[in-house]
Amino acid sequence: MRKLKIELDGYHSSPTQAIRQSDFINVRFLASGVAETETIPAGARIVLFSATGNFYLNTRAVAVIPTGDITDGSGPEYNPVARLLVAGETMSLIAPTACIVMMSYYK
């Protein structure tokens, strides 16, 4: 698994704002309203998300689509971009409509 590293442009030694493609990418097809569990792969410390639609993430419980107030701190995150991880732990994903979620893992 690659490290997440910002490359320099080689001209002014400025950050390129681009990263290499991960060599460990998982894809989940989320059916509407059905939570799925993803286990963090060995060696992973960072995940970058991209998706074809909206989705929710919860790393502490089964993800739900909120239908009212959640005021006890257990609510899911909406369309996260990146998260720090612990290998072997799990995260739960759910979407209000069917979509595909790509998870690019890095060291």
Architecture of the 25-106 domain:
Sandwich (2.60)
Summarised one tens digit per residue, pLDDT across range 25-35 is 999 999 999 99
- Pick from 61, 63, 49, 60: nearest CA to 93: 63
List, edge to edge, every strand of the sheet that includes 82-84: 25-30, 99-106, 46-51, 82-84
Q: pLDDT below 50 — which residues of the chain?
A: none
User: Domain residues of the chain, as ranges?
Assistant: 25-106
